């Protein structure tokens, strides 16, 4: 039944995490909005039309009352320690994450994880159904919540539902391994609009629908039959690509800030003023190809193909999902490789590799991007990779080289990067040498083209496009125009 939501919210974001961090430095811990692109893009929409954001605050077993911050109504959902283990670390990040990233490590299939995933997804769907006003727009985000669209449609057929998948969507040949594939597809198909990073992800999804159900699809549209068991009526869903981007103008402004520019110079000086500063910035995740990058760098030092007195690599590896086995393995492997490279090639006045397992404020990240001559992005598979776009946005000088894996969503747009296949270590080494030796004229030509692309394609444009498409579908419920 549709609840009386006269005082409900017209726009509801549902995501695994709330867009806030808790500042624990004061005796009375305060929330502050986290500086990510998603919140930047959605905050104005939420401020303009009674918006709410439903998500987990990041700690176990904590009941937090809904609260308002920066014009947004936040609704924290409690996750028990058990649910974090089974739903977040288990099904989301040890089943779906590796399955959707080319099975770089083997996905694990456990029925208890799946049960917890259903339970938690239902809690998110019920919370959305509670806060959404009649006819509201609800935008669900990412692979942790793929059952929410269908659950919500059953509870609230009056709302308009969008879903955006921030990570890749695998081809049928891989997706078919998932024992619960039918339920996951059905879950997503509860949305009116299902957005993906790349056209390939959207076409993989539509093909999975055809292969799994034997249904036909028409261009981006999928006719979804009613499901009396779940309680959903027939409707048409659209699945298409909406490549996400960054807050280009905010980063551009930061990169002109005199204090940040001075900090960039200081970083270079503290590193001994290397002729070429190479940077890597990634969550410490096996999808990011950090091992491959370090192997290539170590070999280049050993071969003498880059001059070790002139080149320094700074690798930032943000702590991530630290209780999951595969994340502990990758950390061990990366840190062994770092130790080997520094053990072999350092001398008293020179260290070829600086490794940091830490998070940084946005200003410091911007200073690092400004300081770096070369940015290495070597993901084995990546939905988009925002770091690549951030680096380009932080290069007002027009110099700098982006070395970019062809297996990132960003490679579809930043076509002037030096493209590499990170599995091909010789090719990766050649790409790095190409970047180190590229003349300034070519650097500027490539960087100018990439910066132009990002100016017309920022995260605000991305959210506007998605929501406009969702509303356009909403005004035509689709079925009538199918035949
Ligand atoms: P993913 O979503 O897989 O983590 P992306 O590259 O798309 O990868 O996004 C990572 C985001 O996290 C970027 O906005 C980047 O600036 C930020 N980030 C990465 N490492 C750090 C760090 N050590 N400190 C602060 N922010 C970081
Ligand atoms: O981009 C994929 C993603 O899982 C996002 O949903 C999330 O914000 C980010 O990576 C960090 O992951 P986690 O929330 O597991 O720390």
- Three-state SS string over 212-240 comes to HHCCCEECCEEEECCECCCCECCEEEEEE
pLDDT in tens, 238-289: 999 999 999 999 999 999 999 999 999 999 999 999 999 999 999 999 999 9
Average pLDDT of the segment spanning 304-310: 92
Q: Give pLDDT, residue 49.
A: 82
How many angstroms separate the first and last alpha carbons of the chain?
Answer: 31
Atom of ligand 2 nearest to the CA of 283: 11
Q: Whose CA is nearest to atom 14 of ligand 2?
A: 17
Of residues 35 and 92, more confidently modeled:
92
| Cβ(390) – ligand 1 distance below 6 Å | yes
Ligand nearest to C-alpha 316: 1
Atom of ligand 1 nearest to the CA of 382: 3
Residue pair 116/90 in contact by the 8 Å Cβ criterion: yes
Residue pair 371/267 in contact by the 8 Å Cβ criterion: yes
Give residues with Cβ within 8 angstroms of 80, minimum separation 6: 60, 61
Average pLDDT of the segment spanning 465-476: 85
Q: In the structure, what pLDDT confidence band is assigned to residue 21 with cuts at 50, 70 and 90?
A: confident
Give residues with Cβ within 8 angstroms of 50, minimum separation 6: 8, 9, 10, 11, 73, 133
Q: Give pLDDT, residue 2.
A: 33
pLDDT in tens, 343-375: 999 999 899 999 999 999 999 999 999 999 999
Q: What is the pTM of this model?
A: 0.96
Partnered with residue 75 across adjacent β-strands are 54
| Cβ(283) – ligand 1 distance below 6 Å | yes
Tell me, in angstroms, the distance from the centre of ligand 2 to residue 17's CA.
Answer: 8
Nearest to 55 by CA among 164, 145, 134: 145
Q: Give pLDDT, residue 40.
A: 73
Q: Give pLDDT, residue 4.
A: 38
Partnered with residue 56 across adjacent β-strands are 17, 77
Q: Which DSSP letter does residue 338 get? A: H
Question: Which residue's structure tokens are 């419920």?
Answer: 477
- Of 320, 326, 410, the one to substitute when testing ligand 2's pocket (max ligand atoms within 8 A of C-beta) is 320
pLDDT of residue 403 exceeding 60:
yes
Tell me, in angstroms, the distance from the centre of ligand 2 to residue 214's CA.
Answer: 32
Give residues with Cβ within 8 angstroms of 201, minimum separation 6: 165, 168, 169, 241, 383, 409
Q: What is the C-alpha to C-alpha distance for residues 304 and 315, in angstroms, rounded to an integer? A: 20
Q: Give pLDDT, residue 6.
A: 54
Mean pLDDT over each residue of the chain, to the nearest integer: 94
| Cβ(360) – ligand 1 distance below 6 Å | yes
Ligand nearest to C-alpha 89: 2
Nearest to 186 by CA among 137, 220, 235: 235
- Residue 447's region, left for phi above 0, alpha for psi from -120 to 50, else beta, is alpha
pLDDT in tens, 438-467: 999 999 999 999 999 999 899 999 999 999
Sign (positive/negative) of CA torsion 177, 182, 186, 189? positive
Cα torsion at 284, 287, 291, 292 (round to 10°)? -150
ipTM above threshold 0.85: yes
- Catalytic annotation on 382? yes
- Catalytic annotation on 424? no
Partnered with residue 377 across adjacent β-strands are 404
Alpha helices in 346-385 (DSSP H): 362-371
Of residues 42 and 83, more confidently modeled:
83
Q: Whose CA is nearest to atom 6 of ligand 2?
A: 142
| Cβ(166) – ligand 2 distance below 6 Å | yes
Tokens of 2: 């549709």
CA atoms within 13 A on the CB side of 83: 20
3 state SS of 179: coil
Give residues with Cβ within 8 angstroms of 216, minimum separation 6: 210, 223
Q: What is the C-alpha to C-alpha distance for residues 220 and 442, in angstroms, rounded to an integer? A: 39
Tell me, in angstroms, the distance from the centre of ligand 2 to residue 170's CA.
Answer: 18
pLDDT in tens, 146-199: 999 999 999 999 999 999 999 999 999 999 999 999 999 999 999 999 999 999
Average pLDDT of the segment spanning 20-42: 78
Catalytic residue among 382, 457, 458, 469: 382
Residue 128's alpha-carbon distances to 37, 133, 147, 184, 185, in angstroms, are 22, 10, 13, 19, 20
């Amino acid at each position: 039944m549709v609840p009386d939501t006269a005082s409900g919210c017209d726009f509801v974001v549902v995501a695994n995490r709330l867009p806030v961090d808790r500042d624990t430095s004061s005796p009375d811990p305060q929330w502050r909005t986290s500086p990510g692109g998603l919140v930047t893009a959605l905050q104005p929409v939420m401020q303009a039309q009674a918006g709410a954001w439903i998500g987990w605050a990041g700690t176990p077993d904590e009941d937090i009352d809904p609260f308002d911050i920066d014009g947004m109504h936040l609704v924290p959902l409690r996750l028990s320690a058990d649910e974090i283990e089974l739903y977040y670390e288990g099904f989301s990040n040890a089943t779906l994450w590796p399955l959707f990233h080319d099975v770089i490590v083997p996905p694990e299939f456990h029925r208890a994880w799946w049960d917890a995933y259903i339970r938690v997804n239902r809690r998110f769907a019920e919370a959305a159904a509670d806060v959404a006003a009649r006819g509201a727009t609800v935008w669900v985000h990412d692979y942790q919540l793929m059952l929410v669209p269908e659950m919500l449609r059953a509870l609230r057929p009056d709302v308009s539902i969008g879903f955006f998948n921030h990570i890749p969507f695998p081809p049928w040949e891989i997706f078919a391994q998932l024992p619960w594939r039918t339920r996951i597809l059905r879950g997503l198909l509860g949305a009116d609009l299902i957005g993906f990073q790349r056209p390939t992800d959207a076409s993989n999804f539509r093909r999975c629908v055809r292969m799994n159900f034997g249904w036909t699809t028409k261009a981006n549209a999928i006719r979804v039959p009613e499901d009396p068991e779940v309680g959903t009526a027939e409707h048409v869903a659209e699945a298409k690509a909406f490549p996400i981007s960054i807050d280009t103008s905010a980063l551009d402004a930061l990169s002109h800030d005199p204090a940040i520019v001075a900090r960039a110079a200081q970083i270079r000086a503290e590193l001994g003023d290397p002729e070429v500063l190479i940077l890597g910035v990634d969550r410490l995740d096996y999808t990011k190809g950090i091992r491959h990058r370090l192997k290539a760098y170590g070999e280049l030092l050993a071969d003498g193909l880059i001059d070790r007195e002139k080149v320094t690599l700074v690798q930032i590896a943000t702590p991530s999902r630290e209780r999951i086995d595969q994340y502990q393995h990758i950390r061990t492997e990366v840190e062994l490789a770092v130790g080997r490279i520094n053990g072999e090639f350092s001398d008293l006045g020179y260290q070829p590799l600086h490794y940091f397992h830490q998070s940084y404020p946005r200003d410091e990240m911007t200073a690092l991007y400004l300081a770096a001559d070369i940015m290495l992005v070597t993901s084995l598979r990546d939905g988009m990779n925002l770091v690549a776009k951030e680096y380009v946005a932080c290069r007002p000088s027009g110099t700098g080289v982006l070395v970019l894996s062809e297996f990132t969503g960003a490679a579809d747009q930043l076509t002037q990067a030096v493209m590499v296949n990170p599995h091909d270590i010789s090719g990766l080494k050649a790409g790095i040498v190409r970047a180190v030796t590229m003349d300034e004229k070519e650097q500027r030509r490539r960087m100018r083209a990439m910066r132009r692309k990002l100016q017309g394609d920022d995260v605000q444009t991305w959210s506007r496009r998605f929501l406009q498409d969702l509303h356009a579908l909403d005004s035509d419920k689709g079925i009538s125009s199918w035949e």
